[in-house]
Amino acid sequence: MPHQTFNIDQVAEYLHVEPRHVERLVRDREIPFVVRGGRTIFRRGEIDAWASQRLLGLPDQGLEWYHRKTLDGARQVFPTGALVPVLLRPEYIDLEMPAKTRASVISEMVALAERTGRIVDPKALRLSLEERQALNSTALPGGFALLHGRQQQPFLHEGSFIVLGRTIQSIPFGSPDGLPTRLFFLVCCEDEHIHLHTLARLCLLALRTKVIDQLVDVSEPAKAFDLLVAAEASVLPPAG
């Protein structure tokens, strides 16, 4: 059964950093923790939410470092290293979402996820997405957002997958650059390590390729899927 709480060494391993780095975060009160009987304890759910929020704000070098650091672990689940061909399908893509508000985007993305046949509790998933969005926006510069729950809760869905929605018109979604958002990825992963690596991978695609601009203009889901597969292949280092 996965750990529900961590000590300093365990959370350092979980986050792929040195224990001294965690100690500094605790000293500066930059990471959620509690003290029990003189021991520093980290709750897994709080760490998951904190890590995903922090990851989306990493500078370019930090993002690439994290992606490299977690790639070997991801390859234990995805031997080729490629996530898109496994987690996404053309039928998981909707390029004509009519949503005009943040709330309607979340509702329509949950409905799109339901179409995969993998959602167990759509109401709970929607609530989790809203709670995560309330922490700070998952929209990123460049016109896309990476929707995900506040905590990864496998009982909400079966297996790991991504769905992609594109709204007919751009929507103010709280992006740091102040510009509206039109592309929305919803990431649902059973394993937190894969969840964080998937977020890093999608951010890296946006940073290192032109796929976000290409997805704005594409007219068919199958073509959108092919564009993402090709973009991912271009940033992956050779295995081994």
- In which band, very low, low, confident or very high, does the pLDDT at 70 lie, cut at 50, 70 and 90? confident
- Residue 84 parent element (H or E): helix 84-87
pLDDT recorded at residue 1 = 37
What pTM does this model have? 0.86
Q: Are 137 and 173 in contact (CB under 8 A)?
A: yes
* Range of 27-36, 184-193, 223-232 with top mean pLDDT: 223-232
Tell me the mean pLDDT in the region 121-147. 91
Angle (nearest 5°) at CA 200 between 178 and 95: 60
pLDDT-above-70 percentage for the chain: 96
For residue 62, pLDDT beyond 50:
yes
Distance CA 119, CA 108 (A): 14
pLDDT at residue 240 greater than cutoff 60: no
Q: What is the per-residue pLDDT across 11-61, written as a single tens digit (0 to 9) for each?
A: 888 777 788 888 988 998 988 899 998 899 998 777 877 877 777 777 788
Higher pLDDT, 58 or 199: 199
